[in-house]
Amino acid sequence: MSDEVSKLFMAFMTTALFAIGGASSLIPEFHRQIVDVYGLMNNAQFASSVALAQLAPGPNMLMVSFIGWQVAGLPGLLVSTFAIVGPPSLLAFAVGRGMERVREAPWLKAVKASLAPVTVGLMVASGLVTARAAGENPVSIALVAGSATFMVLFRKNPLWVICAGALVGVVAGRLGLLRV
């Protein structure tokens, strides 16, 4: 197994074992592992990979497979996908079996009630980490701020934001304001 593939496995497997809220809530830790710890991508590559994976139909977990593909091709895709799905599935099975015995325990109900706010907080952190990674120039910063503002104020279909962002990107690229 290549060094890059083994780093992908470690990054995604260790992160996946503590997943609460799905792949989107894990973006800050994915970023820390892939960019800061292992240096497999830079900020711009990571932000682009996350954005492209989010545009694709299907589950958010595709982001992990796409990052694996970007870093190490087909072996990276396969190892990353297994690392994010395999060990947590086994853990979920074991925990699910154990929870059947204590499903009415007050402490378990309290834990379940506290996980929703934690998940929302992790998702907000994911957005901030991705925005910081994507906003490396004035045009990108304006696109991040404009997209967030539009979605909060108008609550319209995100396709409007995607189309507007693509148009701004083309114009800014032609004017030399955006690195392509």
How many Å is the Cα radius of gyration of the chain?
A: 19
Domain tally, the chain: 1
In a domain, 120, yes or no: no
DSSP 19-77: -SS-GGGGHHHHHIIIIIIS-SS-HHHHHHHHHHHHHSSS-TTHHHHHHHHHHHHHHHH
Domain residues for the domain of 101 are 3-108
| pTM check: above 0.75 | no
pLDDT in tens, 45-100: 998 888 888 777 877 788 899 999 999 999 999 999 999 989 888 888 888 888 88
pLDDT tens-digit readout, 140-170: 889 989 999 999 999 888 889 989 988 998 9
Residue 34 located in a structural domain: yes
In a domain, 36, yes or no: yes
